[in-house]
A = this chain, B = another copy of it.
């Protein structure tokens, strides 16, 4: 297999937008294409993550419409991937594998999503469709409920009193909001305090409002190239060193919601392909859809020992400048979460970090980065390792 590099990235501001999914995608894609020193016509295939387009815009089969919007030729294959919140990362992994295998030399991968037009309550109910419709959604559970259960289980499993765990969860929100203030594309760019989090209204006990990421609108895009082509286009190629993807679910078939089997499997694949250890990773963008989600993800990814993820937050180990910077972009929590775009936005941040282009939120000397994206009821997990 050939080495594959990211040669350009683009991203819209995340947050409420009046633009359509196609318009947002085009904005991000053209930035990525311009930054890659190529013309749109050089793109050989298009891979896109999108989850809710049918419900929000009445738009299925968005991939060829995006290809057309960019003026790509009729012989350009274009695929939409839907893996709930992991849709964008699923698209990146597939694109990477096809470029590595030699099918294409230059491809565009992106994600686009509109959520805010639905309003949060309707978006929450609609998005619950990413859980099992027969036995979970049917009983009324939504994702805040799923992760509330994860928090209770975590508290019990490791004997961490819920009050203490909630304070540490709040510290995740504080950290990610602080990081968001340094990201001009973030949905939220305002610092918060532990007290603010603990005073927020209850969404699903023990998760309060600021334990939850927002639904956002936005798009992100990256251009992937074979090593040979990448070297001609940029002197700052960022290579994809390893990928992994696992599957599990529904919840009632999973043994331990605090250690999702699909994530353990995906991470093992990615580390194995890259030939690196968790302790080699400098910067991580992981799936903090809820504050507890960041804690359990940091453990299953091997960044902290099981049961120590919340202490690590309290000790500042996951801050920028800490042992391993987690979500320097602000994460889903502050940067925002436009479902299908999220995985690609994680790639955007890691590439910018490894290129040293992140200004105030730059993780100094970052050479190896990891993304972690979760879809559905802990069902789809994708990990990708990037290196310079």
- Residues on A close to B: CB < 8 A? 1, 20, 22, 46, 51, 54-55, 57-61, 63-65, 67-68, 72-84, 90, 93-94, 97-98, 100-103, 127-130, 132-134, 137, 245-250, 253, 261-262, 264-266, 268-269, 375-376, 379-380
Contact = CB atoms under 8 A, between A and B. Distances in A.
A103 to B, nearest CB: 6
A380 B103 CA distance: 19
Nearest to A100: B101
A80 B79 contact: no
A127 B153 CA distance: 42
A61 B375 contact: yes
23 contacts: A1-B101, A58-B129, A59-B129, A59-B132, A59-B137, A60-B130, A61-B376, A61-B379, A63-B247, A65-B132, A65-B250, A65-B376, A65-B379, A67-B247, A68-B247, A72-B247, A74-B246, A74-B261, A74-B265, A76-B246, A77-B93, A79-B81, A100-B101
Given A55-B54, A247-B74, A262-B74, A61 B97 contact: no
A55 B329 CA distance: 34
Given A82-B60, A137-B58, A75 B129 contact: no
Q: Count identical subunits in the complex.
A: 2
B130 A247 contact: no
B61 A130 contact: yes
Nearest to A84: B61
A76 B247 contact: yes
Contacts of A77: 93, 245-247
Given A63-B247, A80-B83, A247-B76, A253 B68 contact: yes
A90 B79 CA distance: 8
A289 to B, nearest CB: 14
Given A59-B133, A376-B60, A103 B97 contact: yes
A102 B102 CA distance: 12
Contacts of A98: 97-98, 101
